Structure 1
Amino acid sequence: MSVQFTHQVTSPGPAQGMTFTGRRRIGETAGTGDLPLIIAVHGGGFTSAYFDVPGYSLLDRAAALEVPIIAVDRPGYGGSSPAAAGEPVLLANAAALDHLIAELWAANGAGAAGVFVVGHSIGAAISLAVAARKPEWPLLGLALSGCLLREPASFADRWAALPGATLRSPDEDKATRMFGPKWTYRADMPEASYFANVAVLKAELVEISSAWHDLFRTLAPEISVPVHLRQGEFEKLWITDDAQVAEFAAALTASPWIDAEVFRSAGHAIDYHRVGAAFQLQQLSFALTCAARRFAERGAATTEKEVR
């Protein structure tokens, strides 16, 4: 079972003084040296609970493999402080999370190979922005879903025209955007996911719809870690096909390893579909491989130094 936590950032930096909440499962076997510490970053209109829905929990699946995992509430969600005002939302989130992860790594990373970041939807865009900052903590790789290059042209104007700073759709309406056809999910869904739903910050919806494509083109060449990308076949928030996925992957010119494809039989929230377990195991497999490779590289470097 996950443990909810609160963390106040105390070290100097962009998130100093901010409070963050989230959920974590940190076991006692992270000191083997070849396991990652996973940090999970949710999308818009969810909290860290997105990754902890009973029966569909990435936290539970990681814990079964003895992989330590922390799902954070992004700025402005759950009990987390809002991001800095007056700055682009995605980049302000990235700066704050970069700082937060540095402290989470210092407190929870003993013996782990490094940090692996899982990002969903807007959280995937923010995770890319975090990686592009070249963080001082050891980033092993990224697993992204629910984020490509282009949304339907009408989305930016639609979001901007809605009143208020936050938007909350009825759960049933939201489900029509999160899920594929009825045969792609079990009888307990979509209702089982509703407890993770919250209002979405309108500013980030507008920014992801109007500015993400250009920002991605700036960020992509700076990503120098392996990237795992999956996009649901029945995605309704992004224009999705094999060509779009290939274009996204091709822009990651500095990444040493890219595994990108359309994920069949799922909608936007892949985790909550019948194929969710397979999807999460792919992400965890990728994370474990990145960690083992980093451990092996360190061992080889140590051996070479000893030989010299």
Structure 2
Amino acid sequence: MTDTDVVIPRVVQVDGVPLSALVCEVPEPRAVVVALHGGSATSAYFDYPDLPRASLLRTGAALGFTVVALDRPGYGASASHADAVRAPARRVDLAYAAVAELAPPGVGVFLMAHSIGCELALRMAADHRGKALLGLEIAGTGRHHHPVAREIIDAWRADPPRPPGGLRTLLWQPDVLYPSAAVGGARMTSRSPGYEADVVAGWAATDFAALAARVRVPVRYTLGDHELVWRSGADALADIAGLFTAAPRVTVDEQADAGHNLSLGRTAMAYHLKVLSFVEECVLARERE
């Protein structure tokens, strides 16, 4: 890490909606990495207190990238505006406008997203503005649930419902893969906006494939080898990769010794370094155009 890796909270006003973020800036950045957190979390997922080695923002800055971890619409400063950001197109517009306010002009933007945050990232990349992006990383997402998750979801939906008791299993197991300070994510937990229940229930089955087919920038897709929310393994990686039919390049990776929360595990830095290496490759490819 460097002496200049200062993470600053920012709030910008976009069309009457305040949007918050954590920002780590560097002079003359190679690119701007915009990170989108998952459900029931905040931007602190990418810069968790007391875990600097797991920080995407600090690692990115040390390698010459400005990193913006955005609180997705309905989270952070915009939590009270959740009803006003229910429409997917509205959330895409707000996110792009926030990035324009927070990122230095003239620098390429790379999108990185985790879990349900991948829904917004895919919509942004599939949008007509997405062709200007350097690339896209999605992680901890998929189209088909892992059998363990399927069992827990069926228990939630049973009539009468059975006690869930399995969320910790899905998100934080095996606990040996996480620093003790991170397990449970208490210092980044947030109430999810109401619209997210609908997103969780259906977007993977109804919209994932159509959105992926419209992405025209390089894509990287990562699952932890201990992922329990989504079906994992070589076939699952290949299934998602095959959806990006218009992307000039698609790379997949199974992160060793990692569970669902890739950016908070003991291998978080290893994961972030691989993503940032991909960002650098995207920058070089853009320079050759």
Specify which of 100, 103, 109 is matched with residue 105 of structure 2: 109
Superimposed CA distance per residue, residues 123-178 of structure 1 (whole angstroms, 9 cap, x where no aligned partner): 112101110012178310011111111235563893799xxxxxxx99xx754332
1:183 maps to what in 2? 176
Structure 2, unmatched stretches of 5+, are 1-5
1:301 maps to what in 2? none
Whether contact under 8 Å (1:20, 1:75) holds in the other structure is yes
Report the Cα distance in structure 2 between the residues aligned to 1:91 and 1:77, rounded to whole angstroms: 17
Map 1:117-266 to 2 at 5 A: 117-135=111-129, 138-151=132-145, 152=149, 155=153, 158=156, 175-190=168-183, 193-266=185-258
Whether contact under 8 Å (1:117, 1:127) holds in the other structure is yes
Report the Cα distance in structure 2 between the residues aligned to 1:213 and 1:190, rounded to whole angstroms: 30
1:52 maps to what in 2? 47
1:40 maps to what in 2? 35
C-alpha change, 1:210 and 1:247, in structure 2 (3 Å) is same
Report the Cα distance in structure 1 between the residues aligned to 2:128 and 2:154, rounded to whole angstroms: 30
Specify which of 276, 281, 289 is matched with residue 281 of structure 2: 289
Is the radius of gyration larger for structure 1 or structure 2? 1
Query: Shift of the alpha carbon at 1:251?
Result: 0.9
Pairing 1:5–2:4 present? no
Superimposed CA distance per residue, residues 2-31 of structure 1 (whole angstroms, 9 cap, x where no aligned partner): 00011012xxxxxx222101110112232x
C-alpha change, 1:176 and 1:242, in structure 2 (3 Å) is same
Superimposed CA distance per residue, residues 197-255 of structure 1 (whole angstroms, 9 cap, x where no aligned partner): 11223531342232322201211110000011101122222222321211110010001
Aligned residue identity for 1:178: L
- TM-score between the two structures when normalised by the length of structure 1: 0.80
Report the Cα distance in structure 2 between the residues aligned to 1:231 and 1:92, rounded to whole angstroms: 29
C-alpha change, 1:186 and 1:101, in structure 2 (3 Å) is closer
Number of residue pairs matched by the alignment: 273
Specify which of 88, 93, 96 is matched with residue 95 of structure 1: 93
Whether contact under 8 Å (1:44, 1:201) holds in the other structure is no
Whether contact under 8 Å (2:140, 2:223) holds in the other structure is yes
Aligned residue identity for 2:174: P
- TM-score between the two structures when normalised by the length of structure 2: 0.84
Report the Cα distance in structure 2 between the residues aligned to 1:231 and 1:136, rounded to whole angstroms: 23
Aligned residue identity for 1:180: Q
Report the Cα distance in structure 1 between the residues aligned to 2:137 and 2:34, rounded to whole angstroms: 10
Whether contact under 8 Å (1:102, 1:137) holds in the other structure is no
Pairing 1:76–2:74 present? yes
Query: Shift of the alpha carbon at 1:256?
Result: 0.7
Report the Cα distance in structure 2 between the residues aligned to 1:87 and 1:78, rounded to whole angstroms: 15
Report the Cα distance in structure 2 between the residues aligned to 1:211 and 1:66, rounded to whole angstroms: 35
Structure 1, unmatched stretches of 5+, are 10-15, 162-168, 298-308
Query: Shift of the alpha carbon at 1:57?
Result: 0.7
Whether contact under 8 Å (2:110, 2:135) holds in the other structure is yes
Any runs of at least 4 consecutive aligned residues in structure 1 with deviations exceeding 6 A, and if so which?
none
Whether contact under 8 Å (1:223, 1:254) holds in the other structure is yes
Query: Shift of the alpha carbon at 1:285?
Result: 0.7
Aligned residue identity for 1:119: A
C-alpha change, 1:219 and 1:185, in structure 2 (3 Å) is same
Report the Cα distance in structure 1 between the residues aligned to 2:144 and 2:86, rounded to whole angstroms: 22
Instruction: Calculate the aligned-residue CA RMSD, in Å.
Output: 2.7
